[in-house]
Amino acid sequence: QTFTRAFKKQFTQTPALYRRAEDWSASGICPPIRLGAFTLPQPEFVTLPEQHLIGLTQSYSCTLEQISNFRNELRAQFWRLYLGDAETLPPVLYGLHHSRPSQGKDDEQEVLYTTALEPHHVPANVQEGQPITLPGGEYAMFCYQGPSSGLQDFILMLYGTCLPALGLTRRKGHDIERFYPKGDRRPPQAPTEIKCDYLIPIRR
């Protein structure tokens, strides 16, 4: 009860309503104090048109605390499942992430992760996917380049530090991971270094 009162004072709504809201405002979050050198990643604000992809969607339920670990595992697992028979990787790979409150348990989220390709990049020997439509809208695009193991920490920094510092509100929609593979590395051999645009749907 004490936590709920303090949370409502800071965010003007209860934790349950905040967790289930369509929009997620970062204005009440205090970014962490960093004692060492730190450069805040700066986004490029882009407006994307409606986009049509071919993809495969998987869903799972987990607690909020488990989301980060689950996303790391599922990202690699789903790409192996979707592109496991491809001889080479397409030039652009998409990962679409969306979560919503679980219908069964208040403390869990249903997380949906879609692996997708642009239709003209779908290899002939890749299993058939489903049409995916990404609605157009405004996004904050952050660029990540580094170890694949560091992507999830980068995403947590965006939500815990960048969005609050910039006063942005995440609107309903998918987070978009846009990967740019190098060379003809065959899946499922996971790359140790990756280049990724991470796009968060926002409302300013």
Any idea where the domains of the chain sit in the sequence?
A: 42-203
Encoded tokens for 71? 């996303």
The CA distance from 99 to 60, in Å, is 10
**Which segments of the chain does DSSP mark as H helices, in order?**
2-11, 15-20, 67-83, 151-157, 163-166
pLDDT at 188: 52
Residue 79 pLDDT: 78
Tell me if 51 sits within 8 A of 158, measured CB to CB: no
pLDDT in tens, 52-106: 999 988 888 877 667 667 677 777 777 777 777 777 778 999 999 888 777 777 6
Please report, rounded to a whole number, the percentage of residues in the chain having pLDDT higher than 70: 90
> What's residue 149's pLDDT?
82
What pLDDT, on the 0 to 100 scale, is given for residue 64?
A: 66
Across all residues in the chain, what is the average pLDDT? Answer: 85
Rounded Cα distance between 100 and 107, Å, is 11
DSSP summary character for residue 49: P
Q: What is the DSSP letter of 159?
A: I
Please say if the pLDDT value at position 186 is more than 70: no
pLDDT value of residue 131? 93
Q: Which CATH class is domain 42-203?
A: alpha beta
Q: What is the pLDDT of residue 189?
A: 57
Cα–Cα distance, 99 to 6 (Å, whole number)? 25
8-62 per-position pLDDT tens digit: 999 989 988 887 788 888 888 888 888 888 889 999 999 999 999 999 888 888 7
Per-residue model confidence (pLDDT) at position 100: 75
CA end-to-end span of the chain? 32
Report the candidate in 23, 85, 84, 79 with the shortest Cα–Cα distance to residue 56: 79
- Predicted pLDDT at 190: 60
pTM: 0.87
